[in-house]
Amino acid sequence: MAEAQKKKDIPHIDIYRAWCKACGICVAFCPTETLARDEGGYPYVKYPEKCINCGWCEIRCPDFAITVEGKKNGKKVRDQFEKESPEKGTAAPGQ
């Protein structure tokens, strides 16, 4: 019971690969080493149970590509965003 309770409290971390540029900032400054980088340099959640939901990865991500939330808080940001905006990206850079 205590185990199950604990699992439920683990924050949910979502990495939005389409926007992530593998800069490594979220991983480098995570105070608990919850995150790690794969061979391509992209972040992944290595130890979900270590996350303390401090939110620093989300605040420092320059590309708004990682989100953290307490499990109970419901919907994932990415789902919501994709629903609202099925087509992203028409304008060319460097106008």
Partner 1 sequence: MAEITRLIHEYLRHDKKFPHVWCPGCGIGIMLGSLIRAIDKTGYSKDDIVLVSGIGCTGRLPVYVDFNTLHTTHGRALTFATGIKLAKPRLKVIVIMGDGDAVAIGGNHFIHAARRNIDITAIIVNNSVYGMTGGQYSPTTPYGMKSTTTPYSNVEHAFNISELAVTAGAVFVGRGTVFHAKLLDSLMEKAFAKVGFSVVEIISHCHTQFGRLNRMGTAVEMMQWQRDHSVTVEKAAQMKTEELKDKFKIGVLVDRELPAYQDEYEKVRRWAKGTEKR
State the DSSP H helix or E strand holding residue 34, giving kind and residue range, or none if neither.
Answer: none
* Other beta carbons less than 10 A from residue 71's beta carbon: 12
Among 10, 12, 46, 53, binds ligand SF4 (CB under 6 A): 53
- Cα separation of 7 and 78, whole Å? 22
Q: Output the smallest distance, CB 7 to partner 1, in A.
A: 19
Please tell me the count of residues contacting ligand SF4 according to CB under 6 A.
27
Cα–Cα nearest to 12, from 69, 83, 78: 69
Residues that bind partner 1 (CB under 8 A): 11-12, 14, 18-25, 28-29, 53-55, 58-65, 67-69, 73, 76-77, 80-81, 84-85, 88-95
